[in-house]
């Protein structure tokens, strides 16, 4: 077994120039890095890079994830954990979920190995952290199981949130409650005297980051790549802070994510799913606290916030734009930054590369912030880099103009949403044909539509605003017909097809699509079957079938079905000549 090098793992009770080891093996007095030569700090980081244990963990996790991922793909198909696409989804073909299992299993295995003490040159650093490894192992197992259940069987958001809070409470009560924050020009500000505040902040931090990573998991390779950069950032920060065991766990995460990206890069063969996105969010949030542990608790470092800048930015900007538009801040939509970059004409790989670059700049800002003294004016440099990076992303994505425009239509949007809730409550099994017809006509009147029709996958039933085959005149411009898919109450696919009565601005079209999705998301299939099933070969309009997204059902030479890049929430536009609407 290789013994620890002196710069990596100081002996307990011996004060080093970076930190002091307490009797319990935790790093004690924080070090002010500006007091040390920069070359010495670099040498410490190089010491980790030369560590055989680090390389064994990195390559071991890479190899295990490489072999596990194909098996997880088969398991996902067997269990039914497959994402079939639909409203708010970029992809349209069925893709297995549960990819997070291939990332979490090697990570948990490394944590268990640390419990056994078989960590090579890191043995001295990990020996005093048995309880820490127990906490992060239990938390990762819990959050992974929670995500896997959601991927396979589905779970209501409130139950997922409750599970996240319970797991966050586990971490907070294990000794990692936040007891101070690190502020530029001020330094460390503690609040030990405020009972319960540290525990509350810890739970909020863990739950927020868990959901922030889940929020950016909407495009091939995005969440995995951004999390990889964040894990590398936290590894460097933990190395500067003397938390060698956190470095080891971050290296394990980096190795697994590097391997998983081979399968998750566009075109993705497997998705992280809630299993992976929730695991990554929890692991990153917890490691950021463990890597900043001081004598009496965790310090929420600004550097850790910067390292997780991209998911935090996406969460904050999503809440702002939803509130400005009149929607609930917790409502799901297809207006995230990656959606906007795609609508600008970027490919998925290009959009991912842009956000990777933003993550890399946040990485640089985080490392600089950790190295500079907080009381010095120089501490504003990393903050400037961080803010300019996020503002640049916001400008490129066009948030300034769209948020202002949505705010101007907020009252009208809220009225639309109120009607959507009323319509959704009315369209239930047992509703009379007259009631259904009246609601569908009111939908057309409220949203300015020529018609709307909804049909179950498999054509087991359909409801519409009028007798479509007898009204051929409404299809004078078939190119303006839009469509999207949602899930019924039993998980089956439901197709929504509609046509605006005139030209509409992009924001209006997006609002209409979002409201229609709220009406028909989770609709009961029994209602549609009662309303009257359609024959398999029957068409909605001449040459237009509700399920035209499947090429094999499309009449040859009559039209082309394709996905537009419009703001109308990933709707399909059917017509003779493909045309993509403008963005923003």
Burial classification of residue 109, based on how many CB atoms lie within 10 Å of its CB (0-12 exposed, 13-18 middle, 19 or more buried): middle
16-25, 257-266, 360-369, 461-470, range with the lowest pLDDT: 16-25
Cα–Cα separations (whole angstroms), residue 220 to 90, 223, 224, 364, 429 = 9, 8, 9, 24, 38
Burial classification of residue 219, based on how many CB atoms lie within 10 Å of its CB (0-12 exposed, 13-18 middle, 19 or more buried): buried
Burial classification of residue 273, based on how many CB atoms lie within 10 Å of its CB (0-12 exposed, 13-18 middle, 19 or more buried): buried
pLDDT at position 21 over 50: no
136-150, 192-206, 533-547, range with the lowest pLDDT: 533-547
Residues belonging to the chain: 584
Interior angle at CA 313, CA 310 and CA 317, nearest 5: 145
- Report pTM: 0.79
Confidence class of residue 580 from pLDDT cuts 50, 70 and 90?
A: very low
List phi, psi (to 5°) of 534. Answer: -105, 155
Give the per-residue pLDDT at 119. 57
52-56, 86-90, 136-140, range with the lowest pLDDT: 86-90
Contact 359, 390 (CB under 8 A): no
Chain position carrying tokens 């001020």: 186
Strand partners, 83: 95
Range of the domain at 188: 33-301
344 token code pair: 């600008």
CA distance 362 to 571: 34
Quote helix, strand, coil % in the chain, to nearest 5.
Answer: 60, 10, 30
CA distance 523 to 428: 8
CA distance 386 to 366: 8
pLDDT at position 284 over 70: yes
Considering only residues 491 and 165, tell me which one the structure prediction assigns the higher pLDDT: 165
22-31, 90-99, 487-496, range with the lowest pLDDT: 22-31
Give the per-residue pLDDT at 187. 66
145 and 276 in a common domain: yes
Chain position carrying tokens 């997006």: 510
Strand partners, 182: 188
pLDDT at position 444 over 50: yes
The secondary element (H helix, E strand) that includes residue 497 is strand 493-500
Q: Of 102, 507, 532, 393, whose CA–CA distance to 275 is shortest?
A: 102
Confidence class of residue 299 from pLDDT cuts 50, 70 and 90?
A: low
Q: Quick check: bond before 286 cis, omega within 30?
A: no
pLDDT at position 89 over 70: no
Residue 484, SS3? strand
The domain boundary, picked from 301, 326, 342, lies at 301
Residue 157, domain member (yes or no): yes
Give the per-residue pLDDT at 350. 92
Residue 57, domain member (yes or no): yes
Give the per-residue pLDDT at 494. 84
253 and 110 in a common domain: yes
Q: What count of other Cβ atoms lies within 10 Å of the Cβ of residue 136?
A: 27
CA atoms lying within 13 Å on the CB side of residue 135 = 22
Percentage of the residues of the chain whose pLDDT score is greater than 90: 32
Give the per-residue pLDDT at 43. 56
DSSP secondary structure string, 55-90? HHHHHHHHHHHHHHHHHHHHHHHHHT-EE---TT-S
Residue 23, domain member (yes or no): no
Considering only residues 107 and 529, tell me which one the structure prediction assigns the higher pLDDT: 107
pLDDT at position 427 over 80: yes
pLDDT at position 101 over 60: yes
pLDDT at position 578 over 80: no
297 and 414 in a common domain: no
Residue 358, domain member (yes or no): no
Residue 431, domain member (yes or no): yes
Give the per-residue pLDDT at 558. 28
pLDDT at position 255 over 60: yes
Regarding beta strands 449-456 and 462-464, do their DSSP bridges make them parallel or antiparallel, or are they unpaired? antiparallel
Cα–Cα separations (whole angstroms), residue 137 to 93, 130, 164 = 34, 11, 15
CA 473 to chain centre: 44
Residue 10, domain member (yes or no): no
Contact 98, 275 (CB under 8 A): yes
CA distance 39 to 18: 14
Of the spans 188-192, 294-298, 303-307, which averages the highest pLDDT? 303-307
Give mean pLDDT, residues 414-441.
Answer: 89
pLDDT tens sequence across 153-174:
888 888 999 999 999 998 888 8
pLDDT at position 17 over 70: no
Confidence class of residue 194 from pLDDT cuts 50, 70 and 90?
A: confident
Q: Of 506, 503, 315, 321, whose CA–CA distance to 406 is shortest?
A: 321
Percentage of the residues of the chain whose pLDDT score is greater than 70: 73
CA 568 to chain centre: 21
Contact 176, 286 (CB under 8 A): yes
Give mean pLDDT, residues 199-204.
Answer: 90
Residue 388, domain member (yes or no): no
Phi-psi region of 10 (alpha: psi -120 to 50; beta: other; left: phi over 0): beta
294 and 421 in a common domain: no
List phi, psi (to 5°) of 496. Answer: -115, 120
Chain position carrying tokens 């004016």: 377
Give mean pLDDT, residues 451-462.
Answer: 74
Confidence class of residue 581 from pLDDT cuts 50, 70 and 90?
A: very low
422 and 287 in a common domain: no
162 token code pair: 């409750």
Give the N- to C-terminal CA distance of the chain in Å, as an integer.
60
pLDDT at position 285 over 60: yes
536 token code pair: 């398999």
Sorted by sequence, the CB contacts under 8 Å of residue 408 that are 6+ apart come out as none
Regarding beta strands 481-487 and 493-500, do their DSSP bridges make them parallel or antiparallel, or are they unpaired? antiparallel
Residue 15, domain member (yes or no): no
Give the per-residue pLDDT at 555. 34
The domain boundary, picked from 301, 321, 337, lies at 301
Residue 298, SS3? strand
94 token code pair: 């069925």
418 and 296 in a common domain: no
Contact 273, 98 (CB under 8 A): yes
> What sign for the dihedral angle of Cα 337, 340, 342, 346?
negative
254 and 129 in a common domain: yes
Tally of structural domains, the chain: 2
Residue 289, SS3? helix
The domain boundary, picked from 301, 324, 352, lies at 301
305 token code pair: 């916030």
């Amino acid at each position: 077994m290789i013994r620890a090098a002196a710069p990596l793992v100081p002996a307990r009770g011996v004060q080093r120039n970076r930190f002091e080891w307490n009797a319990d093996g935790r790093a004690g007095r924080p070090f002010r890095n500006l007091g040390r030569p920069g070359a010495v700090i670099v040498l410490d980081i190089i010491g980790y890079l030369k560590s055989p244990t680090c390389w064994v963990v990195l390559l071991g996790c890479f190899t295990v994830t490489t072999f596990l991922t194909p098996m997880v793909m088969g398991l996902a198909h067997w269990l039914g954990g497959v994402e079939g696409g639909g409203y708010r989804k970029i992809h349209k073909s069925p893709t297995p979920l549960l990819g997070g299992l291939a990332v979490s299993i090697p990570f948990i295995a490394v944590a268990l190995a640390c419990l056994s003490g078989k960590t090579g040159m890191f043995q001295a650093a990990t020996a005093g952290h048995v309880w820490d490894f127990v906490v992060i192992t239990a938390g990762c197992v819990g959050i992974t199981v929670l995500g896997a259940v959601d991927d396979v069987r589905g779970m209501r958001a409130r139950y997922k949130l409750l599970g996240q809070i319970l797991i966050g409470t586990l971490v907070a009560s294990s000794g990692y409650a936040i007891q101070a924050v690190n502020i530029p020009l001020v330094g460390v500000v503690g609040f030990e005297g405020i009972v319960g505040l540290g525990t509350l902040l810890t739970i909020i931090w863990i739950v927020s980051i868990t959901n922030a990573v889940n929020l950016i998991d909407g495009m091939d390779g995005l969440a995995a790549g951004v999390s990889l950069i964040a894990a590398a950032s936290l590894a460097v920060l933990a190395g500067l802070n003397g938390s060698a065991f956190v470095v080891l766990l971050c290296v394990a995460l980096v190795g697994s994510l590097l391997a998983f990206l081979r399968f998750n890069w566009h075109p993705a063969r497997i998705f992280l799913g809630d299993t992976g996105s929730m695991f990554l969010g929890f692991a990153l949030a917890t490691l950021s606290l463990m890597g900043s542990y001081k004598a009496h608790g965790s310090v929420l470092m600004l550097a850790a916030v910067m390292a997780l800048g991209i998911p935090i930015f996406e969460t904050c900007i999503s809440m702002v734009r939803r509130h400005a538009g009149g929607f609930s801040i917790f409502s799901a939509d297809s207006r995230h930054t990656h959606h906007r970059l795609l609508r600008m004409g970027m490919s998925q790989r290009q959009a991912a590369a842009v956000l990777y670059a933003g993550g890399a700049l946040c990485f640089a800002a985080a490392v600089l912030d950790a190295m500079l003294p907080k009381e010095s004016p120089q501490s504003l440099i990393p903050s400037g880099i961080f803010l300019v990076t996020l503002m640049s992303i916001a400008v490129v994505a066009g948030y300034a103009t769209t948020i202002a425009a949505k705010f101007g239509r907020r009252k009208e949007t809220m009225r639309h949403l109120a009607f959507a809730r009323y319509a959704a409550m009315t369209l239930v099994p047992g509703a009379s044909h007259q009631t259904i017809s009246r609601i569908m006509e009111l939908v057309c009147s409220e949203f300015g539509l020529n018609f709307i029709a909804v049909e179950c996958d498999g054509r087991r039933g359909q409801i519409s605003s009028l007798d479509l085959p007898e009204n051929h005149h409404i299809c004078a411009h078939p190119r303006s017909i839009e469509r999207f898919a949602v899930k019924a109450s039993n998980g089956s696919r439901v197709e929504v097809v509609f046509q605006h009565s005139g030209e509409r601005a992009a924001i209006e079209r997006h609002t209409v699509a979002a409201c229609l999705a709220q009406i028909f998301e989770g609709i009961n299939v029994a209602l549609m079957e009662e309303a009257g099933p359609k024959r398999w070969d029957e068409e909605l309009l001449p040459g237009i079938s509700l399920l035209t997204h499947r090429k094999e059902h499309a009449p040859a030479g009559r039209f082309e079905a394709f996905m537009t890049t419009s703001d109308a929430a990933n709707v399909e536009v059917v017509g003779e000549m493909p045309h993509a609407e403008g963005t923003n």
